[in-house]
Structure 1
Amino acid sequence: MKFSLYYSRKIAFSKDNRNNLSRIIIFIGRLSVALGIIVSLITVCTGLGAKKAIKERIADFNGHITVKAQETDNSYNSPKLHLQNFQYEEIKNTPAIASVQSYAMISGIMRNEKSFDGVVYKGVGKDFDRKRFEKFIVAGSCPQYDEKGYNNQIVISHKIATDLGLNVKDSIVSIFSKEDQRPVYRKFEVAGIYKTDIKLLDDLFVIGDINQVRKILDMDKKDIGGVDIYLHNIDEIDKIYPQIKNLIGSKNYAEKATDIFPQINDWVNIFDTNIGLIIFIMLVVVVINIIMVLLILIIERTNSIGILKTLGATNFQIRSIFIHYTLLIMIPGLIVGNLIGLGLLLLQKYLGIISLNPDNYFISVVPVDLNGLYILAISSGILLIAAVSMILPSYLISKISPVKSIKYN
């Protein structure tokens, strides 16, 4: 064992530290480290958790990648997807892709005696990923759309249900229009109510049978308006996107979920700036406190430094002793900070104690992403940066004269 590490351990765990100024200094150092760890863990795990939750909600509703016809305009009415050169089976069999579902959309109005709402009716078929969608269901259930006949059951958002005063099994009349033709009326039964907390989705979308859209828009029974593609891992979206573009034909185009709602994506990206800023501030606070602890410990043990120099210890060895000493002081702070930080995060993850306004944050509960790599990186990063930052202040030891320091009280 190296001399510097051995000596630093001896003074770190010495009983003398309990009865002098060292006790207060050590407490301050450990407290600053623990607070830095707690704040950093909460910031990273909740910030990244919020980013992931918002992206996944948008993607799980609309598809990670959506394929549409080039003729698609600003309206919600779906033109027919060009199936020529559209390599559906190759897309479906791509290892990174979890599922593929077809859809067709049309805009309309839902009304009853109480009120009315503008809606977008998204028709889905037998390949509808019901399991993925069921996480949003808050009342009733999601129907099975087998494309046999015309299913009049729909799933509406909690927002639309509240506006129109609807409950499960209630009926509602919808009005759809086509160019240069009379409005088309349809009567639907509410089978389920969903809630994504994404205002841009909850304000508009109704899920129903794709055959209803085909009939209103005069489509053939095999025509579709688009395809939603779901990946096993949303983080691979940028990698898979170019492959999808090569399989959809020249008359169609693909769009990533992050591009469909750019305003939400831009807002989510602000999390990176906020996380970086908070961690930087906490690092500065921790480093300043640790340097202060180091300097006070050096001054307090000036007499010991003089004795060590008299016995032949080099400045480098003595600097190493105090750097190791200070790092050993930090370790209990790291452990306590991790225990408290992870404890608070686990409480939030499983109990959802802190809630948010979904109109402002797109989520109703603060999400937590407990990524072991980030947790390890925070602790090791703070420890490493603190160690490096102590190198320069430790040079104060070289200025201490052995003769004068031995007389120092």
Structure 2
Amino acid sequence: MNLEYFIAKHIYKGNSESTRFSGPAVKVAIAGIALGLAVMIIAVAIVTGFKKEIREKVIGFGSHIRISNFDNNNSFETVPIRVDSSFVKSLYGIKGIKKVQSYATKPGIIKHGDAVQGVILKGFDKDFDHTFIDQNLISGKPVQFGSGVRNDSVMISERLAKMMHLKLGDKFNTFFFQDKIRARSFYVKGIFRTNFPEFDKLFVLVDIRHIKKLNNWDDDQVSGFEIIIDDFDHLDQIGREVFLKTANKFDDKGSSLLSRTIKELHPDIFGWLDLLDMNVWIILALMLTVASFNMISGVLILILERTSTIGLLKSLGARNWSIRKIFLYNAAFLILKGLLWGNVIGVLLCLAQYYFQFIPLDPHSYYVDTVPINLKLWHVLALNAGSMLMIVLMMVLPSYIITRINPSKSMKFE
């Protein structure tokens, strides 16, 4: 067995049984590491969970990549493009693309009783991906778009339903201002809640045939295509491939196509989410600093308490680095103990929040109604490995005090 490891293990066991003044210092050091790691695990799980929730809501309303007419100029009153089955098929040839769905938008004003609200009707066809709506539907049923006949049923948000005093099955009128005022009546079939007011109060999901009829479009004309991909981490790469495929693409009217990722469509939201990463790094740095200084204090007290042992080892011919390794091993044992308790506390609190959601939030301020948790194994492992490495490295400098201990004076002092 490694001699330094053997002695360090003996000292560690002696510390756990010791009633001397190093005992409280060691316990404080372990508690500091445990608390620091627990806070880091919780912070990373909450911030990544919050980013994931917000990102999924934005993508749910706008997909990962959008292809539209270059002349739209960010308006919801869109210039159409023609559906080209061969073009859609070519998009599926790009690795990572999961779904391509057509859509159309139309601004209008809905009225129910005395309530009036400006909205955007967003129409979908039979290729509509219901996953996001199914996850957020709180009452009613999803509307099956593109079923063969024009469907007067729509899906609206809970926020819009409250603003307009609408319930399931209620009928409301929608007015459109073109060359002349046109009106349509719809029925509420489904109500969803995403807690994202910018979109909840804006969109009404309808059958695309209504918008085509209102705009006098042909059956093969749409506002554009929305692309859903498998992995958000590959968004930029897939976005570039889609851009290259659409950059020189024109429809039969000579209109060019424009492809943009969800980051380009909503730079303010994703810029804000990126700023949250800075908060995480600050928390990690603070927690590691506090844990490291607690550990340094504990190791220094251990060294001072074992001065006579250090002097004896030096008198027997042990080198400074060999003795320093003993205390570094001992510090590693204490760090591992602190990390173990930190994992237990951090992971249990995250799991409790994930399953029981005992910490609520104001959805009007935070866009979610409870603290979100995104607990990943590799996050926990990375935090453990990083904490272990950083704290052990910071132990090297205080262990230098061992080289200043004189064997004759230390043993005389004893």
Distance 1:23 1:187 in 2: 77
TM-score by length of 2: 0.95
Distance 2:46 2:81 in 1: 40
Alignment-derived partner of residue 295 in structure 1: 300
Q: Does 1:338 align with 2:343?
A: yes
How much does 1:194 deviate? 1.1
How much does 1:82 deviate? 4.8
Distance 2:357 2:349 in 1: 11
Alignment-derived partner of residue 329 in structure 2: 324
How much does 1:208 deviate? 0.4
Alignment-derived partner of residue 157 in structure 2: 157
- Over aligned residue pairs, what C-alpha RMSD do you find? 1.6
Number of matched pairs: 407
Contact 1:87 1:247 in 2 (8 A): no
Unaligned 5+ segments in structure 2 are 251-255
TM-score by length of 1: 0.96
Distance 2:73 2:47 in 1: 35
Report which stretch shifted further, 143-152 or 332-341.
143-152
How much does 1:374 deviate? 1.3
Taking the TM superposition and a 5 Å limit, the aligned residue runs for 1:150-299 are: 150-178=150-178, 181-248=179-246, 249=249, 251-299=256-304
Alignment-derived partner of residue 318 in structure 2: 313
Residue 388 of structure 1, aligned match among 379, 385, 393: 393
* One-letter amino acid of the structure 1 residue matched with residue 145 of structure 2: Y
Distance 1:190 1:84, change over 3 A: closer
TM-superposition CA deviations, 1:341-395 (whole Å, max 9, x none): 0000011111222222233222222221112111111111111111111111111
Contact 1:104 1:123 in 2 (8 A): yes
Distance 2:361 2:114 in 1: 30
Q: Does 1:54 align with 2:54?
A: yes
Report which stretch shifted further, 159-168 or 89-98.
89-98
Q: Secondary structure at the match of 1:191?
A: strand
Distance 1:34 1:280 in 2: 15
Report which stretch shifted further, 7-16 or 386-395.
7-16
How much does 1:168 deviate? 0.7
Alignment-derived partner of residue 304 in structure 1: 309
Alignment-derived partner of residue 131 in structure 1: 131
How much does 1:15 deviate? 6.6
Taking the TM superposition and a 5 Å limit, the aligned residue runs for 1:82-121 are: 82-83=82-83, 87-121=87-121
Q: Does 1:78 align with 2:78?
A: yes
Q: Secondary structure at the match of 1:189?
A: strand
Contact 1:114 1:165 in 2 (8 A): no
Find runs of 4+ consecutive structure 1 residues off by over 4 angstroms: 82-86
Identity over aligned residues, as a percent?
A: 31
Unaligned 5+ segments in structure 1 are none
Distance 2:271 2:184 in 1: 38
TM-superposition CA deviations, 1:312-347 (whole Å, max 9, x none): 111111110011111111211111110110000011
How much does 1:116 deviate? 0.9
Alignment-derived partner of residue 253 in structure 2: none
TM-superposition CA deviations, 1:287-323 (whole Å, max 9, x none): 1111111111111111111111111111111110011
Distance 1:122 1:271, change over 3 A: same
TM-superposition CA deviations, 1:15-65 (whole Å, max 9, x none): 774321222122111100000100000111111111122112211221111
Distance 1:231 1:314 in 2: 60
How much does 1:147 deviate? 5.2
